[in-house]
Amino acid sequence: MVSIEEQLEVLMSGTEYGDPRTKEEMREELRQRLIETEREGRPLRVYCGYDPRTADLHLGHTITMRKLRQFQDFGHDVTFLVGTFTSLIGDPSDKDKAREQLTAQQVEENARTYAEQAFKILDPQKTRVRRNDEWLRTLDFADIIRLASHFTVQQFLVRENFAKRIDSGQPIYLHEFFYALMQAYDAVAQEADVQVGGQDQLFNILVAGRKLQQGLGQKPQIAIIMGESLPGTDGSAKMSKSTGNHIPLLAEPWDMYGKVMSIPDHAMPLFYKLILGWQAKQLEAMQAGLADGTLHPNEVKMQLAREIVSIFHSEADAQAAQKRWDDVFRSGSKDAVPDDIPHEVLREDKKVVDILRELKMVASNSEAKTLMQNGGIRMNGEKVEDAHAMVTVAMLPVVLQVGKRKYVRLVQA
């Protein structure tokens, strides 16, 4: 049996709260709760919520899922909570303006495959899947007033994103205050011992959730706040569907492989750390090899792409994606792309024919369409036959080929 101290070491790893004192307080509270639940003969009740604002979960979401998996592996009761009600509002935590509100139908469609995607990381036999409309839709207006009475307006206005919006004259809508209230009630409804979340959830979990539980006579949940966010394919901004820099868990193997290959070299260590779980000594050895030239960045990135595709698809899929990448992008094949082709930045989604015309690789749309009909235009080695075919920013990098000698590699800004 794993000791409480051994559990603490694993469960608190990778957490960050903004100050050492809060982290030590959470560590001590978790220790005491583990002692109490062991005495009571029950596991910890642990959860993390995922709002189906879109149909895709992405690699960034797997950081909190891996923390949930650690709790599972220690025998604790883990809930994957689908925010079917909270997503109707949308979390304002890391936004500089109000989110667009979704309809219930949109939310249902987006949530359809969430559990299936989560099981890429979580053990389906040990995971409780719930939806927060179970309890939130049953609240009436009197309930909302009663719950809201536990908070002051000032507590919400000191939040960094709200403060910035006030300073810049951006509106804050009343319904946005309800999000933290609803998420806090998620903790109450589940009598949660622990809630896992990212840095953007610090207020919702550590302040709102704990305060409402205490106000309603429950022990406050322990906040497990992950310290680092996964950057997107641009290597800088946090991975997010809204910015188009995400790598979806449902991406096809070749697409997933290509998106990993598009990340800047400087971002690779974080992917190895947060997605593959590499420890400090492994990362130091890799970075030393890159620095002294014994490791080539492209080879390190291809290893990363293969391992990620293997996790979310299969080893065979990873090998096939690697072969396709070699055929399209690396020399040594008669169909390989030359190393010295021009690079162009694509800043917005565009039709293939428009890109080729703007870059003067074809004289007109009609010429492009004729070439397509004869198999003379390729995208990443595949024939483009649809005149309406698009290249999106999320697809980058992409190689377009016209005939046998004209190439361009489209990349992100």
CA proximity to 321, closest of 340, 302, 338: 302
Any idea where the domains of the chain sit in the sequence? Answer: 4-225, 251-336, 338-413
* pLDDT for 332 beyond 60: no
- Return the pLDDT at 159: 75
Q: For residue 113, what pLDDT band results from cuts at 50, 70 and 90?
A: confident
- Return the pLDDT at 338: 67
Place of tokens 């596991």: 43
Task: For residues 360-366, give the mean pLDDT.
Answer: 88
Fold matches, 4-225 and 338-413: no
- Return the pLDDT at 238: 87
- Asked if 246 and 60 touch (Cβ cutoff 8 Å), the reply is yes
- Asked if 171 and 165 touch (Cβ cutoff 8 Å), the reply is yes
Q: For residue 318, what pLDDT band results from cuts at 50, 70 and 90?
A: very high
Place of tokens 């299936």: 116
Distance CA 358, CA 365 (A): 10
Lowest mean pLDDT among 35-49, 227-241, 270-284: 227-241
Distance CA 390, CA 352 (A): 6
Distance CA 186, CA 50 (A): 12
Output phi, psi for 58, to 5 deg.
Answer: -130, 180
Q: For residue 46, what pLDDT band results from cuts at 50, 70 and 90?
A: very high
Distance CA 216, CA 75 (A): 28
* Superfamily for domain range 4-225: HUPs (3.40.50.620)
- Return the pLDDT at 187: 97
**Burial letters 339-372, b for 16+ CB under 10 A, else e:** eeeeeeebeeebbbbebbbeeebbeeeebbeebb
Q: For residue 413, what pLDDT band results from cuts at 50, 70 and 90?
A: low
Task: For residues 343-371, give the mean pLDDT.
Answer: 89
The half-sphere exposure of 176 on its side-chain side, counting CA atoms within 13 A, is 20
CATH of domain 251-336: 1.10.240
Q: For residue 288, what pLDDT band results from cuts at 50, 70 and 90?
A: very high
Task: For residues 224-248, give the mean pLDDT.
Answer: 86
Q: For residue 53, what pLDDT band results from cuts at 50, 70 and 90?
A: confident
Alpha-carbon distance values, 308 to 121, 164, 257, 318 (Å): 12, 37, 8, 8
* pLDDT for 303 beyond 60: yes
**Average pLDDT value over all residues in the chain:** 88
Place of tokens 């207006």: 141
- Return the pLDDT at 246: 86
Note if the pTM is more than 0.85. Answer: no
Give the percent of the chain with pLDDT over 90: 52
Task: For residues 113-123, give the mean pLDDT.
Answer: 91
Task: For residues 253-278, give the mean pLDDT.
Answer: 90
Tens-place pLDDT, residues 150-172: 988 888 887 777 778 888 888 88
Q: Which helix (H) or strand (E) holds 141?
A: helix 141-148
DSSP, res 18: S
Distance CA 231, CA 81 (A): 24
- Return the pLDDT at 370: 87
Alpha-carbon distance values, 105 to 62, 84, 87, 102, 211 (Å): 26, 10, 12, 8, 32
Tens-place pLDDT, residues 189-214: 999 999 999 998 999 999 999 999 99
Q: For residue 138, what pLDDT band results from cuts at 50, 70 and 90?
A: very high
CATH architecture assigned to 338-413: Roll (3.10)
Give the percent of the chain with pLDDT over 70: 94
* pLDDT for 106 beyond 60: yes
